[in-house]
Amino acid sequence: MRSPSSRAGSNEALNRFVPDNQLFLLKPWHALGALAADWGLIVVSLLVAAHWPHPWVHVAAAVVVARSQLALAVMMHESAHGVLLSRQWLNDFVGQMFAAGPLFLSLQTYRAGHLKHHLAPMAHDDPVAVVFGIDDYPVSRGRLAARLIADLCGVSYFVSATRMLRGVYRDVLPKVAKSRNDQFVEVASMLVSNGLLAGVLAWCGHPLLYVGLWLLPAVTLLPLMGRIRAILEHAGLPASDDQSQNARTITHGSWQTFLFGPHAIHYHIEHHLYVRMPFYHLSTVHRQLAAQQLLPARNLYSGYGAVLRDVSDPALQPRVP
């Protein structure tokens, strides 16, 4: 088996580096275990909130649930790349039913836009840069704070949803042809997963937890965590054929990566170089690349705070939207 080539463009040193073939092999039970752990955290958070209905317990539960929703989005991302499970139909079914659907998302729509993003990150028509609003950095500290507050208050979620419905992003998002069966599976995954979650909570006598600890985090904390994750990945970096130059990596796992970079998505340079490498091998290839000094030092960080400082300049005036 020949290792897939990197997306290092004209970077000859990176092109000469060949990861071990084993790093591209899928371990389905590892992926399924990670997905089960995400749902396990959600269930435990809801159980704790139900048994100890203290405001601070609910706040903590909301943070863990939102983090787990972000983790589900990352598993959808793995499925979009076809590296969740070996069989394509099963990869797509599990990704839609247990990751995308519960978040009211379409795996096929996401896949089309995300794969376009990987062709030319931070280009003028990069769907990720446009939809996530990371195409105008650096911004002032005030503008960055305003965006994060808008996320936390739920404003960003509804603004983005409105723009999507109005077709504002139609020029950057690829059109996706879906069969009736595809559409049925998507709608069923959304209704069944959310109906089951709401139904079980109602049966247990806690129907409001579905609203307070599932829907509310999804429109407030999840967009906030998602923006911080997106900023880390590409904000303020130029388009380049060498994709090690327009992505960033958090070099070590911590509570920060637990919240904002689950399932090794914080190894984002490595992911862009080797898109067919599953998440559980990214830490290994990171160590190998770092040992040979093949990663751009300016794009390596130990935490998200430093990234937020670097993409915001207190001397900048807020830009006109």
State mean pLDDT over 158-166: 92
Name the least confident of 43-47, 100-104, 168-172.
168-172
Percent share of the chain, pLDDT over 70: 97
Question: Does the pLDDT at position 213 exceed 90?
Answer: yes
* Mean pLDDT estimate for the chain: 94
Query: Which residue, chain included where needed, has tokens 């904390």?
Result: 221
State mean pLDDT over 180-204: 96
Strand partners, 248: none
Confidence of residue 138 (pLDDT cuts 50, 70, 90): very high
Q: Are 80 and 100 in contact (CB under 8 A)?
A: no
Q: Which DSSP symbol is given to 300?
A: E
* Single-letter amino acid, residue 54: H
pLDDT of residue 4: 72
Residue bearing the bigger pLDDT, 5 or 126? 126
The count of residues in the chain is 321
What is the rounded CA–CA span in Å between residue 101 and residue 204? 23
Euclidean distance between the first and final Cα of the chain, in Å? Answer: 50
Question: Does the pLDDT at position 320 exceed 70?
Answer: no
DSSP string, 233-266: HHTTPPP-SSTTSS--EE-S--HHHHHHSGGGTT
Q: 137: closest CA among 43, 53, 236, 220?
A: 236
Token pair in block for residue 159: 């603004």
Query: Which residue, chain included where needed, has tokens 């399924």?
Result: 32
CB atoms near residue 198 (< 10 Å): 16
Q: What is the pLDDT of residues 219-262, one digit of tens each?
A: 999 999 999 999 999 999 999 999 999 999 999 999 999 999 99
Q: Are 46 and 213 in contact (CB under 8 A)?
A: yes
Strand partners, 300: 249
What is the rounded CA–CA span in Å between residue 245 and residue 204? 51
What is the rounded CA–CA span in Å between residue 146 and residue 242? 32
Rg (CA), the chain: 20
Domain layout of the chain by residue ranges: 28-239+303-310
Token pair in block for residue 197: 């979650």
Q: Are 198 and 210 in contact (CB under 8 A)?
A: yes
Q: Would you call the peptide bond into 138 cis, given omega within 30 degrees of 0 as the criterion?
A: yes
Q: Which DSSP symbol is given to 102?
A: G
What is the rounded CA–CA span in Å between residue 231 and residue 308? 8
pLDDT of residue 318: 41
Question: Does the pLDDT at position 174 exceed 60?
Answer: yes
Residue 65 Cα distances to 103, 192, 207, 218, 259, angstroms = 12, 19, 16, 9, 10
Percent share of the chain, pLDDT over 90: 93
pTM across the whole model = 0.94
Q: Are 126 and 199 in contact (CB under 8 A)?
A: no
Q: Are 77 and 226 in contact (CB under 8 A)?
A: no
Q: What is the pLDDT of residues 26-80, one digit of tens each?
A: 999 999 999 999 999 999 999 999 999 999 999 999 999 999 999 999 999 999 9
